[in-house]
Structure 1
Amino acid sequence: MEFGQGDSSTRQRVARSILDHGPSTAAALAERLDLTPAAVRRHLDQLVDDGAVEARDPRPAASRGRGRPAKVFALTQAGRDSFEKAYDDLAVAALRFLAETGGEDAVRAFARQRATVVEERFTEVRRDHPDLGPAQALAAALSEEGYAASVRTSPVGAQLCQQHCPVSHVAHEFPQLCEEETAAISRVLGRHVQRLATIAHGDGVCTTCIPDVPDVAPTPNQKETVTS
């Protein structure tokens, strides 16, 4: 099943909503899309049969209360691949060639150079929207690059959630892309951050923990470390 840009079918809207908002229950999708629960379930059943969506048990923290918790529906890798991507198999082939001819250092340099786009876009958003906080500006910058990013509160600060990754199929083979992106996030926010999950490794959402308090600037003799 393919989702083209010109396809305005309800089924595509359901799949797109999961892509933009992450794993969702049928009830949440119905409310979000102004559809009946029965209609949403019918489209979800077809998406599951097509291999574009899979049903999952909700996380324990989200399933408190009486009765059986509602299933959440997440896109499979095949479902993600049905949407247009900024990179295709040519990118994987190019990076393989770079790794074979230039080694790890060459791949790392490429990934670091690509991550500077995040910093540049962040600077532009902060300039154009000074009312946005740093994390919100970063989410807006990433969304402009196709990551469908948002910020959620967490017990230790905030979480940056990227519901889509246009390079996930490339990053699965070349994790340097994720690692350098995490380092760029750390630099623009001025603090250590920790990657908790990535789409490239099979998670439904790329999640980065952003602590409340910025880290103390390291001394010249200290090396900054970023957990990926």
Structure 2
Amino acid sequence: MKNVGEARGTAKGAPQEELAAGLRSDRSTRNRVARSILDHGPSTVAALAERLGLTQAAVRRHLDALVSDDVVEAREQRVYGARTRGRPAKVFALTDCGRDAFDQSYDKLAADALRWIAEREGGQEAVAAFARARLAAQAGAYREAIEAAAPEERTEALAKALSVDGYAATARSAPVGEQLCQHHCPVAHVAEQFPQLCEAETEVFSQLLGTHVQRLATIAHGDGVCTTFIPKAAHAAQASQISQNDQQDHTASASTAGRNPA
């Protein structure tokens, strides 16, 4: 015989499991509805119901959810030739957002283009030049956001500006600095083959924030998040001074190399 705690757990858990299963089923059916529209073009509720073996009421329910998510949109059906009497039937078509949810060949196209640049226009340095030019074109909006923020809020301002471009970025505190985390990378698959894209992005972050930054992880390299470390001003100045001292020591050593001690 089950005790009271076990009985309560069962009573509470069963509806949750049923709800989760129902949500998975809804998502699966909505994907089928969207896929049918992709395969057959703008479709009426009746046509979708017939193709998918669903009731029209069920199709309307899923279409309402897809419209709410900006995956499909309703429009009047185009009529070619003489119009019949009455209002044209309403059809549902995929939005640009909805099309992007399905597999596209943009990554392959971009990788092929960069490979062509490397082969015809000067090797990997030509790819690096393209990557820097691409980021420079995007950097204007990022710079405006950073310059409008207080110094201590500039990393957060950059994160928000990156999020507008689809990088889902956040900023968080870290020992002696901050971390800029990009939870999504629109060019990750291409950057796997051409790391110059990540390198150019790191250079731009450094220029925008006016300090040396360090890339700790990238999605293109297989990490879960692109993470960039941004030191606090005092630590950045210290690191810069150490670098300058090392360079001076190296120069002095080189200039006295081979001399006999006095």
Q: Which TM-score tier does this pair reach, normalised by the shorter chain? A: 0.5 to 0.7
Q: 2:165 aligns with which of 122, 136, 145?
A: 145
Q: Is the 8 A contact 1:85 1:167 kept in 2?
A: no
Q: TM-score, normalization: structure 2?
A: 0.50
Q: 1:202 aligns with which of 222, 225, 237?
A: 222
Q: Is the 8 A contact 1:111 1:180 kept in 2?
A: yes
After TM superposition, give the deviation of residue 126 of structure 1 in Å: 3.4
Q: Structure 2 vs 1, CA of residues 136 and 94 (structure 1 numbering), >3 Å: closer, same or farther? A: same
Distance across 1 between alignment mates of 2:226 and 2:104: 16
Structure 2 counterpart of 1:117: 137
Structure 2 counterpart of 1:167: 187
After TM superposition, give the deviation of residue 86 of structure 1 in Å: 11
Q: 1:101 aligns with which of 113, 120, 143?
A: 120
Q: 2:210 aligns with which of 153, 170, 190?
A: 190
Q: Structure 2 vs 1, CA of residues 209 and 97 (structure 1 numbering), >3 Å: closer, same or farther? A: same
1:156 equivalent to 2:176? Answer yes
1:92 equivalent to 2:108? Answer no
After TM superposition, give the deviation of residue 85 of structure 1 in Å: 7.9
Structure 2 counterpart of 1:57: none
Distance across 1 between alignment mates of 2:105 and 2:168: 14
Structure 2 counterpart of 1:5: none
- Higher RCO (C-alpha under 8 Å, 6+ residues apart): 1
5+ long unaligned stretches in structure 2? 1-15, 28-99, 245-262
After TM superposition, give the deviation of residue 130 of structure 1 in Å: 3.4
Task: Give per-residue Cα distances to partners, 1:86-119, cap 9 Å, x unaligned.
Answer: 9521111100100111211210100111121343
Q: Is the 8 A contact 2:205 2:213 kept in 1?
A: yes
Letter in 2 for 1:207: T
Distance across 2 between alignment mates of 1:94 and 1:176: 14
Distance across 1 between alignment mates of 2:153 and 2:227: 18
Q: Percent identity?
A: 52
Report SS of the residue matched to 2:109.
helix
Distance across 2 between alignment mates of 1:108 and 1:95: 10
Q: 1:135 aligns with which of 131, 142, 155?
A: 155
After TM superposition, give the deviation of residue 176 of structure 1 in Å: 0.2
Q: Structure 2 vs 1, CA of residues 43 and 213 (structure 1 numbering), >3 Å: closer, same or farther? A: farther
Task: Give per-residue Cα distances to partners, 1:51-92, cap 9 Å, x unaligned.
Answer: xxxxxxxxxxxxxxxxxxxxxxxxxxxxxx967889521111
Q: Structure 2 vs 1, CA of residues 43 and 117 (structure 1 numbering), >3 Å: closer, same or farther? A: farther
Structure 1 counterpart of 2:196: 176
Q: Considering only CA atoms, is the larger Rg found in Structure 1 or Structure 2?
A: 2
Distance across 1 between alignment mates of 2:105 and 2:216: 24
Q: How many correspondences in the alignment?
A: 152
5+ long unaligned stretches in structure 1? 1-35, 48-80, 223-228
Letter in 2 for 1:99: A
Q: Is the 8 A contact 1:99 1:107 kept in 2?
A: yes
After TM superposition, give the deviation of residue 122 of structure 1 in Å: 1.5
Distance across 2 between alignment mates of 1:202 and 1:85: 21
Distance across 1 between alignment mates of 2:196 and 2:22: 40
